[in-house]
């Protein structure tokens, strides 16, 4: 126990030193961290790519998550654990027993509760230092622009194309990065659509919704339980990278993960000049 406490004290000292150094190099306007927050985020702050300034960026960040189901169980939990200052979540569904095979943010005793309220309970229990905004409704054309304006980064992994196209159109119009994930059966994919930085948007890659039956939802096709955990965690990681500027986010690239055969591949994505959502941006950049 003494050895553990000594190690923890050394780590806390490194955290404070790292925060002071990072703040001197790259100050960020924000409130300071409490002792509890410093201890909570210690493993972030000692990371060279994050540091104190990166953690402050996370604290100042506002991230909107569209959906509180499969992909969002791990994504929401890790966004909360990472210290994202404001997390909004919009969903109009209720928790059902069939969700619990993969949506680990919910629990058996919360069956029948609104998913956004269940998700907020889980996130608040994990991190009391963040602001949580639940929206118990479906994302529609009437509210999307006003809602998106309150956030810096948008995450979408919904299972209907109308919502995906709406999210993409509004994110492009407002110059917001859109982190997109999808999965079915054993396979998932993740990318960052950020047309404001010259990379493709969702409609560049998927110009039209597939014909009925070609892209069945998880309820029809099935999904292996841990897959949303893998893909949703990757989406949260991309959000942290986008906010902090660490590493290289998946702009213009897509990672495809095959859980059945344990294979991962990365493909390049390219914008389309004739894209109705972001084509004007591509032409103006030429």
Could you read off the pLDDT of 72-102 as tens digits, one per residue? 899 999 999 999 999 999 999 999 999 999 9
DSSP bridge partners of 189: 182, 256
Mean pLDDT computed over every residue of the chain: 88
Give the model's pLDDT for residue 160. Answer: 87
Give the model's pLDDT for residue 157. Answer: 87
* Spans of all domains in the chain: 35-285
Query: Is the pLDDT reported for residue 13 higher than 60?
Result: no
Give the model's pLDDT for residue 72. Answer: 87
| CA end-to-end span of the chain | 62
Give the model's pLDDT for residue 21. Answer: 47
Q: What is the distance between the alpha carbons of residues 49 and 1, in angstroms, rounded to a whole number?
A: 31
CA nearest to 133, candidates 146, 150, 149, 158: 150
What CATH number is given for 35-285 in this structure?
3.40.50.720
Quote the pTM value. Answer: 0.86
pLDDT band at 209 (very low <50, low <70, confident <90, very high): confident
Give Rg (Cα) of the chain. 19
Q: What is the DSSP letter of 87?
A: E
Neighbours of 67 (CB within 10 A): 27
Angle of helix 141-148 relative to helix 161-174, nearest 10 degrees, comes to: 40
Give the model's pLDDT for residue 219. Answer: 66
pLDDT, one tens digit per residue, over 135-180 is 999 999 999 999 999 999 999 988 889 999 999 999 999 999 999 9
Return the ∠ at Cα 191 (arms to 61 and 196), rounded to 5°.
60
Q: How far does CA 133 lie from the centroid of its chain?
A: 15
Please report the beta strands in the chain, taking only residues with DSSP state E, as ranges in sequence order: 62-66, 86-90, 131-135, 153-156, 178-184, 187-193, 253-258, 263-268
User: What are the C-alpha distances in Å from 169 to residues 3, 78, 131, 178?
Assistant: 55, 26, 27, 10
Q: What is the distance between the alpha carbons of residues 159 and 255, in angstroms, rounded to a whole number?
A: 18
């Amino acid at each position: 126990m003494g050895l553990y406490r000594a190690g923890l004290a050394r780590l806390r000292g490194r955290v404070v030193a790292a925060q002071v150094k990072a703040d001197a190099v790259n100050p960020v306007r924000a409130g300071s961290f409490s002792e509890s927050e410093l201890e909570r985020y210690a493993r972030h702050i000692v990371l060279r790519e994050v540091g104190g300034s990166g953690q402050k960026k996370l604290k100042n960040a506002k991230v909107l998550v569209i959906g509180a189901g499969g992909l969002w169980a791990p994504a929401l939990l890790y966004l909360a654990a990472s210290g994202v200052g404001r997390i909004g979540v919009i969903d109009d569904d209720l928790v059902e027993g069939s969700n619990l095979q993969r949506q680990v943010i919910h629990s058996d005793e919360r069956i029948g509760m609104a998913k956004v309220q269940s998700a907020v309970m889980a996130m608040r229990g994990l991190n009391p230092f963040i602001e949580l905004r639940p929206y118990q409704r479906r994302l529609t054309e009437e509210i999307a622009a006003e809602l998106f304006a309150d956030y810096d980064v948008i995450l979408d992994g919904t299972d209907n194309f109308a919502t995906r196209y709406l999210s993409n159109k509004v994110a492009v119009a407002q110059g917001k990065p859109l982190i997109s994930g999808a999965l079915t059966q054993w396979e998932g994919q993740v990318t960052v659509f950020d047309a404001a930085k010259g990379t493709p948007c969702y409609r560049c890659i998927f110009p039209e919704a597939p014909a009925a039956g070609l892209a069945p939802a998880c309820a029809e096709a099935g999904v292996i339980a841990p897959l949303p955990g893998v893909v949703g965690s990757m989406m949260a990681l991309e959000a942290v990278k986008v906010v902090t500027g660490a590493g290289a986010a998946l702009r213009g690239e897509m990672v495809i993960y095959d859980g059945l055969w344990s294979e991962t591949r990365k493909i390049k994505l390219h914008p389309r000049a004739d894209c109705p959502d972001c084509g004007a941006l591509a032409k103006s950049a030429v």
